[in-house]
Structure 1
Amino acid sequence: MIKWEGVMPAVTTKFTEDDQLDLVMFEKNIKAQMEAGVNGIILGGTLGEASTLKAEEKETLIKTTLSITEQKIPVIINIAEQTTEDAIAVAKHAESIGANGLMLLPPMRYKATDFETVTYFTAIAQSTSLPIMIYNNPVDYKIEVTLDMFEELIKCDNIQAVKESTRDITNVIRIKNRFGHRLKVLTGVDTLALESLVTGADGWVAGLVCAYPAETVAIYNLVKAAKVDEAMEIYRWFMPLLELDISPQLVQNIKLAEVATGIGTENVRAPRLPLQGAERERVLKIIDTAMKNRPILPA
């Protein structure tokens, strides 16, 4: 049972300088997320550099996270495989080793039709009892999951939520108007998070939370307590940082921010490389300015 609400970090994968999993720093970050009050942990997304991880590394990360969280919050596994067969295999394996839920991307290297996309998601859903969140991001993945498609998908009881990343905030309202509480909505774009929460999103799948968990959770809690003005004060400070999430180099950007807050390193896995030159200086300046003006959070 997952409530599909609150802040759910899409966490980064920590590496050592010799390109091994850095489980010590990974645990430090997960514990910081939990101390801030997040509602779940999402593994294996873009921020987790999942496309570069070996199968055994993914399994290690899942088991490590389950051990750290001790069933206090759900651990959700992202699925972004190339074939339906592989996606089903990952879903079944995740369930067998104790994962609590799944986030599903559409087929990645083929622009599937609406019918093919629905068939793909349905096949995965029918292969597992785990609760599922569909990742709807047509900007990056070129496939939009429309309301009519969701009408078909929710015939599967375990398809329960959507990570809403269309960049159209009014889509939050359309989903809520059509499906009510049957389909929970979690905003997936950091720079539209407060606005989406105000218009009715149930939660926030966040990126910069990896470095700033307390500030992210504070914004969510303040909005849900109808203290939008107080939330806006933090959100205005946060915005230059949140913009680091909407970039092809979001992993490098966020890992630099994690260094600043002491809960990560900037080690990435090739072909990604640490930021260089003027772009590195630009990002470091944004982070440095934010750190010097970090807000005092309300109790």
Structure 2
Amino acid sequence: MNLEWKGVMPALTTKFTADDTLDVDLFKVNVQAQLDAGVHGLVLGGTLGEASTLSEHEKRILTTETVAMVKGSVPVLINIAEQTTKAAILAAQQAEEDGAQGLMLLPPMRYKSCDRETVAYFKAVASNTTLPIMIYNNPIDYKIEVTLEMFEALLVCNNIQAVKESTRDITNVTRIKNRFGDRLKVMTGVDTIALESLIMGAEGWIAGLVCAFPAETVAIYELQKVGRIKEAIHIFRWFLPLLELDINPKLVQNIKLAEVYTQLGSEQVRAPRLPLYGEERTAVIKVIEQALKVRPKLPEYKNL
């Protein structure tokens, strides 16, 4: 199965009702806004999607509902974040059954596997699905780094095709390109350095604040792609205070609050998470409201 690793792919938040069930209707409102803005794919059940709190049944509902809604207009990826190799393989096979077109694959959860164990885990999943795979490399949050040497071993698996590069080291984009060329596509995974990473050769952006600001995110990608860097920088500089809400332990609550302000979501999170409160909430609201006051008028960015 082929998947074009490029463009903006939102790491979607999962919407919940006040009764702590999936709010599929509100989720679809956000998905439609992403499609209208021109995103190039959708990633379900990631960190922003509160993956660790979702049941297997809920993940399958999100996948099947999204696949049915987009009707093949963009690829739908589901995140796999499991404790055991067996569970990860099962999740990959279920995703394939449910119509997903790709996987985002995290290292084993809870157990801090060594390099050999991590490679074996990824290979085992890859060999049990035909779906294209993007390895999520985020040593800051998940404490396991997938090194260039590990990727060398992993790329014997033809369906391991991309990396969500979240080491927060822009030079790693160049290292990957120098080592692997086009064999390993780079999708930048850190909002605050996304533009720099794209300019240095990343093919796409697994984005967070796109959940609340889809048009601005896609505009930045499309403008830089055709060399209109100054225009992209102008939007990105406006965007940065908002993007910094993504590199925070409460990124889920932050971004869901931003979604409320742009009418694309609610603040409902799943316990043990709770909505923002007190001074913390006030500070985030200040960032959002200030950004909305000076929200830039976007140039025509589609079909450039």
Taking structure 1 as the reference length, the TM-score comes to: 0.99
What is residue 113 of structure 1 aligned with on the other side?
A: 114
SS in 2 for 1:231: helix
What is residue 205 of structure 1 aligned with on the other side?
A: 206
Deviation at 1:121, TM superposition (A): 0.2
* Aligned-partner residue type, residue 215 of structure 2: A
What is residue 75 of structure 2 aligned with on the other side?
A: 74
Deviation at 1:18, TM superposition (A): 1.5
* Aligned-partner residue type, residue 172 of structure 2: N
What is residue 181 of structure 1 aligned with on the other side?
A: 182
Distance 1:108 1:50 in 2: 11
Distance 1:105 1:97 in 2: 20
Deviation at 1:110, TM superposition (A): 1.4
Is residue 253 of structure 2 the alignment partner of residue 252 of structure 1?
Answer: yes
Distance 2:19 2:126 in 1: 38
What is residue 19 of structure 1 aligned with on the other side?
A: 20
* Aligned-partner residue type, residue 182 of structure 1: R
Deviations 1:208-237 (A, max 9, x none): 000000000000011111111110100000
**Unpaired segments of 5 or more residues in structure 1?**
none
SS in 2 for 1:127: coil
* Aligned-partner residue type, residue 155 of structure 1: V
What is residue 123 of structure 2 aligned with on the other side?
A: 122
* Aligned-partner residue type, residue 108 of structure 1: M
Distance 2:21 2:177 in 1: 43
Distance 1:23 1:144 in 2: 34
Distance 1:270 1:284 in 2: 22
Distance 1:14 1:111 in 2: 30
Runs of 4 or more consecutive aligned structure 1 residues displaced over 3 Å after TM superposition: none
Distance 2:44 2:89 in 1: 17
Deviation at 1:296, TM superposition (A): 0.3
What is residue 162 of structure 1 aligned with on the other side?
A: 163
SS in 2 for 1:26: helix
Distance 1:57 1:93 in 2: 12
Deviation at 1:206, TM superposition (A): 0.3
Deviation at 1:6, TM superposition (A): 0.1
After the TM superposition, which residues 33-48 of structure 1 pair with which residues of structure 2 at under 5 Å, given as runs? 33-48=34-49
* Aligned-partner residue type, residue 91 of structure 1: A
Deviations 1:251-283 (A, max 9, x none): 000000000111101111100000000000000
After the TM superposition, which residues 141-156 of structure 1 pair with which residues of structure 2 at under 5 Å, given as runs? 141-156=142-157
Deviation at 1:96, TM superposition (A): 1.1
* Aligned-partner residue type, residue 189 of structure 1: V
* Aligned-partner residue type, residue 98 of structure 1: G
What is residue 277 of structure 1 aligned with on the other side?
A: 278
Give the paired residue count: 299
Deviation at 1:293, TM superposition (A): 0.7
After the TM superposition, which residues 225-264 of structure 1 pair with which residues of structure 2 at under 5 Å, given as runs? 225-264=226-265
**Which stretch shifts more, 199-208 or 109-118?**
109-118
Deviation at 1:241, TM superposition (A): 0.3
Distance 1:192 1:166 in 2: 11
Deviations 1:128-170 (A, max 9, x none): 0000000001111111111111111010000000000011100
Deviation at 1:56, TM superposition (A): 1.3
* Aligned-partner residue type, residue 26 of structure 1: F
**Unpaired segments of 5 or more residues in structure 2?**
none
After the TM superposition, which residues 1-20 of structure 1 pair with which residues of structure 2 at under 5 Å, given as runs? 1-20=2-21
Distance 2:24 2:139 in 1: 33
**Which stretch shifts more, 13-22 or 2-11?**
13-22
What is residue 65 of structure 1 aligned with on the other side?
A: 66
Identity of aligned residues (%): 67
SS in 1 for 2:52: helix
What is residue 90 of structure 1 aligned with on the other side?
A: 91
**Cα-Cα RMSD:** 0.6
Distance 1:28 1:297 in 2: 22
